[in-house]
Chain A
Amino acid sequence: MRLRHIPWAIALVCVVLGFMLSMQFKVQKQVALKDLTTYQRAQDLAQQLEKAEQERDLLMQETEQLRTAIRNSAPTADVAEQLELAQLHAGLIPMSGPGVVVTLDDSTRPVQPGENPMTFILHDEDVLLAVNELAAGGAEAISINGQRIIGRSEIRCTGPTITINGVRTAPPIVITAIGNPDVLESSINMRNGIADELKTWGIQVSVKKESGVTVPAYKGSLKLQFGQPAKQEVSKQ
């Protein structure tokens, strides 16, 4: 047998081989565990979501009942409170609180010959998307370049400017939103969200969290030409 020739080198090689094999088993166990935990986490989250949705439905029912009770009860000092609450939601009084300031601006990249310059400037859709994301993030009040956004507000391109509440304004567009600063910031900055999408076109997006911002009141006309308060209860949607 030629095994005499092979002691220490072979031994070393075998030790290394054994070591590598046990490492490999350990790593594989981790990989399997990781897959399992991801799946479990997804299940946990789905259950939590269902529970939260049920809770929300119950609370919505309760709110509806309470609101009906208020409407039917005799109005006294509550009226002033109700009025302020209504005005707050309608955007008729300024609101202050923590939130974010989102700044959108045109791309500063010089346009190459043959490229359409329209693709690199800020459009009304971009502002609309940002406002939508903030609203989805739970923003309680939003104002753009000093214009409070209410249910009737439009955000529309007019040539090189954007018209909001009938007032023309030009980039840089500063959107102030009141809400949870972390949630609002991540609603803009999340992966494949607004910030990523706009940055591919070179549109400058910056989000800053603030501990105290003020959103001005709606300054537009409050005259209603067509609508009237509906006297009957609107049936449950």
Chain B
Amino acid sequence: MWIVLVGFIVGIVAGVLSPFTFPVIYARYLSIAVLAALDTALGGLRASLEGTYDNGIFITGFFTNALLAAGLIYLGDRIGVDNLYLAGVAAMGIRMFQNLGFIRRALFTRWGLLKQHQTGPASRPDSSVRG
């Protein structure tokens, strides 16, 4: 888990110290790309908690999602649908909230805070004295 945090901090520091700034005209596209990247990252986290994580899917998904989102919004601007941006934001937002919900539930289950539903009868007095 720590590699995630370290990598993240390295990225932020690199961005802050970098002399290169993104042209302000494309700020919209960068915003949606960042949103898509965040969504993919959360999706990856969810997948790892679910046990369905796949490296290839995550890596490729990360870059393609960001590029596709920005590309879609750019296309929207070109064809005259300026508010496609809102659709993009809404879609990413919904997915992020869903993923966050799932992650929360999975973490609670993992940490034993959420009672797992047992398949047998409800009361099992012996389970509490297990070592």
- Which A residues are closer than 8 A to B by beta carbons? 2-3, 5-7, 9-28, 30-31, 34
Contact = CB atoms under 8 A, between A and B. Distances in A.
Interface string B2-24: 01111111111111101001101
Give the interface size class of chain B. 35 or more
A28 B21 CA distance: 11
Contacts of A18: 7-15
A6 B51 CA distance: 13
B27 A10 contact: no
B62 A24 contact: no
A29 to B, nearest CB: 10
B38 interface: yes
Given A18-B7, A18-B9, 19 more contacts: A2-B51, A6-B3, A9-B55, A9-B58, A12-B59, A13-B7, A13-B41, A14-B3, A14-B41, A15-B11, A18-B8, A19-B12, A20-B15, A20-B66, A21-B12, A23-B30, A24-B30, A24-B34, A26-B15
Contacts of A2: 48, 51, 53
B33 interface: yes
Contacts of A23: 15, 18, 21-22, 30
A28 B27 CA distance: 7
B62 A22 contact: no
Given A14-B4, A18-B7, A27-B30, A3 B22 contact: no
Contacts of A15: 7-8, 10-11, 14
A17 B48 contact: no
29 contacts: A2-B51, A6-B53, A6-B55, A10-B7, A10-B44, A11-B4, A12-B7, A13-B44, A14-B3, A14-B41, A15-B14, A17-B11, A18-B7, A19-B11, A19-B14, A20-B11, A20-B15, A20-B33, A20-B66, A21-B11, A21-B15, A23-B22, A23-B30, A24-B30, A24-B34, A27-B24, A27-B27, A30-B27, A34-B24
